[in-house]
Each structure stands twice: as structure tokens, then as C-alpha cells.
Structure 1
Amino acid sequence: MERLINVFIGGSSEALSISKRVKSLIEGSGEIRCTIWNEGVFEFNQTFLRSLEQACYSYDFGILIASKDDIANVRNNLKDIPRDNVVFEYGLFLGVMGNNRTFLVQEKGANLPTDILGNTTPQFRIDFSESEWIKLAHDLIVAIKSQFQKSEIQALPSTALAIGYFNSFLKSVAHYTYLKERGKPLLNNNLFEHREAKIQIVIPNELSESISAKANKYYNDKGYVPDGLGDPNRPFPIRFYRNKEDLVIVDMPTTLNAIRPAVNLLMPDSGVGINETRLLIERRELENFKKTLEYLIQQDDYARSIVEASWQND
């Protein structure tokens, strides 16, 4: 499920031209879509804080522009400082997204709170040459693309769900499948020999009110056959199909049912219809589930040789 990486850019009104420049250069990569704070992020009938909270969960990354907008008397010394709201927004994004997905782009000479000191921040000057702006944008692009490939432990449950699914189901099924004596029937009911056995984990491209119903429809549409694997008294229920002489076990994780209620608790919505922000959050959670699961698969000697996770429509 390929898509553009979504990045929020926040800053002061005085730094709007800087925000637009950073957006233009980053979007030039063709892989990232940026939304500046004044481009519809703050919705009608919503407080600024509520809109920012939603942005923290619906974007993949946050970039805050800390420009020299105000002057403060700090211990009898005049200091150039960013607007208070920029520092506040940085802290808000930092608390939700984490340090690896939140960037504070600092104008050189802008005095930052002491709690931020020690962090290596990307820096700019108003009189940057074009090549210097390009270099700054390039560094941000590299950091964003690298981090986007990794799973993240965040406030919503996708990381924990992936770990639980792997440990309670997939790991056992993969070990049993791999270690089963070759040439012997693997399944409990459909007794036939096979050459190789593979496990295909199918991640839905979008959630629904019931992943179980979505999974059953998917299995039926594909003609996959139900069976069990392991102890006949307490088997792991699976679906399978035969690919010539090979056996392919298929599973769509129903544990994903927990994501939508978690999102609803975070962002209660009494309205009827599609809420685009909630759909963005759900999509991010599905992606993080898949990345976490792929990481766990690669760490297991048996699983990585026979298990593959893919999107439903791939």
C-alpha cells in the first residue's frame, strides 16, 4: 500500500514564507506531502488545541519552524526567541510522535528553552543561499524516509497488537510448520503431502467494524479452505490453498479489531459519515502493525524463512 509520507509543518505567521520554502523543497522529492499549519489544519468549531491533537496522531512527522520572532529579557539579557506557540506545538508533537519523528528547525541565534538544549536541531539563516536551503531540505528528507521504514511505540495500540499476535499465534504456527517432518501431512483434516509450506499474513488495506467478517469474506472470495494445525484438541484455526505442490497457509489478523475502538476513544465523534482524520490515523496504525510484524518475523530464524506479510490488495 504505497502512499506519500504526510508531514505537518508548524510555525509562526512571520515564518510563513520559510514554511512554504521548506514545504516546496521537501515535496520536490516526490515521496512526501507537506501540510502547513494554515492549510486547513485548524477546523471550524474546533479549538486550536483539539486540532493540534488530531494533527499529532494523523500525520507521520512534524516539523516546527523556530524563527526569531520575539525578544525576551532572560536574566537581564535580551534574547531572540521563537513564538511561545511554536515551542508548545513542538512539545505536543514530541510527546505523541517521539523525538525521531518531530523536527525543530531552528533559525540560527533563536534562543530555545533549556530542556531542548543538547538536541541537534537543523538550523537555517534568513539569508541562506539556494544550495544551503536544498541541503537543509535534503537532510530532512533523508531522516524522514529512513525513520518512516521503522515501527514506533506510540499511544495507540498497533505495536503491542503486533507483538501479541506474533507471540500468541504466528510464532507457534511458523515453528510448527517449519519443523514438521517433510513429506508428512501438516494439516489436521486435509491430509496430503506437499513440497514446501509457506505462511502468508494478509493485512487489510483499511479497517471495518469487524475484521472477522472482512477476513471471512476475503477467504471465501479467494476460495481458501478452512482447517486446523497443531494439537487436534486445541488446533490453530487457519485457511489454506495449494499452489501446485506447495501449501500456503493464510491468515488475516483479527486482533486488528482493537484499533478502531482505540481511535474512537482518542477522538470521539458523534457525527455520521467519514472522518478523514480518523481514517488517516487508522491507516498509520495498520502500517505500523505491518512494520512491527515484519521486524519480528525477521528476528525469528524459522519465521523469516517461510512467513511473508502483505497488503490485501497487493
Structure 2
Amino acid sequence: MKPRIFIGSSSEGLSVAKRVKDFFQNDYDCFLWSDDIFKNNESFLETLVKSASLFDFGFMIFSADDEATIRDNHFETPRDNILFEYGLFLGRVGLDRAFIIAEDEVKIPTDILGITHTRYKVKLDSDGNKVATDSLEEGLTKLKKQIDENVKLGHLGLLPSTVIAISYFEGFVKLAAEWIMENIPGLEIDGKSYNKGILNIVLPNTLDADVKKSATIYYKKLGLQESKIETKHRSYPVHFATKGDHDSFEIYDMPTILTGIDKAIDMYFKVGHIGKKTEQKLAEENELNNFRRVLQLLINEDAFCKECVVIL
């Protein structure tokens, strides 16, 4: 369930991009522009627009590849396409999730001078080629602290996982946790008394199958019983199991609201075929990961939920 990073660069900046990937790959799923994630007949622009929606973060390497003269002053600049890709990711994932990693001598456009970015120095190797110094990893250490903190925050993206997680939490999880904490110990259902209560939220690994049918199969495999709980706002059908001579009451719920993510992805990619392309699967994984992260954040912030809610 790692957050996903896209790393863009010019061909000349690829060695730096690879070092960035090596630095982050233990804690993040990192993809270089050269990794051939998308193998289809779309134009380069279409691929870029879609790829920006499939990642949690975008890093653009601004290496000194071109030269420019502005008002009689000579500057080293990044390639135009790298500037374009940064702007695209900035618009898609937001200011706090699109980052510049720039060679020390590179001129940054004035419109983005106020944006925090990472700088690195270069030196010449024995063959006369420019290579980044250890200042690159020093800068990446600070950048990693920033995005580690960012991951702990719910992010409202183009696709709906954040909103769906909030809706599911407010409309069921929070109410069910309140019911458990207010009624246990001493709960009686169908003539049986329980002293402990847990709400297990079961997340599917993929959205390939109908979530409602997957939930039904899951409940049957576990041999769960079905009943209802009466919250302050409405009654909910629940599937539960009992453990320890009926001492523990465990509710299991697979959020069927996740179907909304699958439908939104189909609409976004204008699906007109059976089966899923690579970018659809990447979007699905990204949204499921974000749904889980946001839901866990909400659980951690609620005193009742922290006591009795577990995500499986």
C-alpha cells in the first residue's frame, strides 16, 4: 500500500532521476518516465495527462540541458518539456505534491520562484561528464520528511476515493463504533450476551469483481450470521461472528460504496471495452490505497473508533 511517485527528467538528467528513485523506493512505489508504464497508441500528451492522475507525487528533475539569453543575460535552463510536465503535475496533484529537483545552476522561471524546491550541485567525473554530488541525497532527505508528513494527510484528488472514504466513515463506521461502545459490555442479540465488540472493515484487493457480490461470498466463506444494529439515525444490516464462548461480538463489513470508485475510473478513462488497461489498474490501486489511508486517518481521530475499529 505504498504511495506512488512519478519521476520525470530529460535523457541527460536520467542518472539523477535514477538516484532519486533509489532513494525513495523503499517507502514509495517509484516510476521513471523511462519505465514504459503505458504501452498503448495514445499520444504523448494524452499519456501525460492520464499519468498525472495516477500518482500521489510528481518529481521533475531540472537539469542544465539548454541555454537561454534573457535581457542580454546568459542562463542554463531545463528542457521545455520538463517545465511543461511540472506544470501539468502541479495542476493535477497540487502544490504540496509536485516538486522540483534542480541542478544548482539552473534558472527557475520567476512564476515558481516562491515554491520550495530541492537543489543539488554537480561535478565532473574522470570522463568529463557531469554527475550530481552528495548534495542531491542531502536535499532528498529534507524532501522525504516533507512528503512523509504529506502522506499522513487526506488529499482531495480528481478521482473520488477521499470523498467516498469520508462518506463511508460518517455514514456507517462512526455510527457503528458509537453503537458498539454504548452497548458493550452487556449487549444482547438474539438472546446472547457479549462483553467485547469489534468492527472489522474488510477491503478488497482489487475492484475487478462486483463489490456487493464479493462481500456476499466473503460473508458466506466465514460463516457469518446476519442481524441489524439500531444507531441514532437508522438501522444497519450487519454480518457478525462470535468468539470465546460468545464473549466477543465481531462485525465484518466490506464497503460496497467502493463501487463508486470503479465507476468513476471507467468514466475518467472513457472505457469502451471489456477488461482493464494498465492505467486503469494503476488508478484503481491508487484510489484503493488513498481510500484506506483517509479512512485510517479518520479512525485515528475518533476516540470510539480507535478502540474498536480495525481495517483488514
Normalising by the smaller structure, the TM-score range is: 0.7 to 0.9
Normalised by the length of structure 1, the TM-score is 0.87
The match for 2:128 is none
Question: In the TM superposition, what are the counterparts of 1:254-273 in structure 2 within 5 Å?
Answer: 254-273=256-275
SS at match of 1:13: coil
Instruction: Give distance in 2, aligned partners of 1:231 and 1:79.
Output: 66
SS at match of 1:199: strand
Instruction: Give 1:146 deviation, angstroms.
Output: 4.1
With over 3 angstroms needed to count, the CA separation of the structure-2 counterparts of 1:229 and 1:126, relative to structure 1, is same
The match for 2:76 is 80
Normalised by the length of structure 2, the TM-score is 0.88
The match for 1:135 is 138
The match for 1:110 is 106
Instruction: Give 1:151 deviation, angstroms.
Output: 2.8
The match for 2:224 is 224
SS at match of 2:113: coil
Cα deviation 1:219-277 (Å, max 9, x = unaligned): 11111111100169952111100021110111111111100111111112334433222
Instruction: Give distance in 2, aligned partners of 1:198 and 1:103.
Output: 41
Instruction: Give 1:149 deviation, angstroms.
Output: 4.2
Instruction: Give distance in 1, aligned partners of 2:183 and 2:40.
Output: 60
Amino acid corresponding to residue 148 of structure 1 in structure 2:
V
Instruction: Give distance in 1, aligned partners of 2:165 and 2:147.
Output: 23
Q: 2:285 aligns with which of 283, 299, 311?
A: 283
CA contact (8 A) 2:118 2:140 kept: no
The match for 2:60 is 64
Percentage of pairs with the same residue = 32
Instruction: Give 1:204 deviation, angstroms.
Output: 1.1
CA contact (8 A) 1:68 1:109 kept: yes
The match for 1:158 is 161
SS at match of 2:35: coil
The match for 1:19 is 17
With over 3 angstroms needed to count, the CA separation of the structure-2 counterparts of 1:301 and 1:130, relative to structure 1, is same
Task: Identify unmatched segments of 5+ residues in structure 2.
Answer: 124-130
Amino acid corresponding to residue 135 of structure 1 in structure 2:
E
Amino acid corresponding to residue 201 of structure 1 in structure 2:
I
Instruction: Give 1:25 deviation, angstroms.
Output: 4.0
SS at match of 1:212: helix
The match for 1:208 is 208
CA-atom RMSD in angstroms? 2.4
Q: 1:91 aligns with which of 87, 93, 99?
A: 87
With over 3 angstroms needed to count, the CA separation of the structure-2 counterparts of 1:137 and 1:299, relative to structure 1, is closer
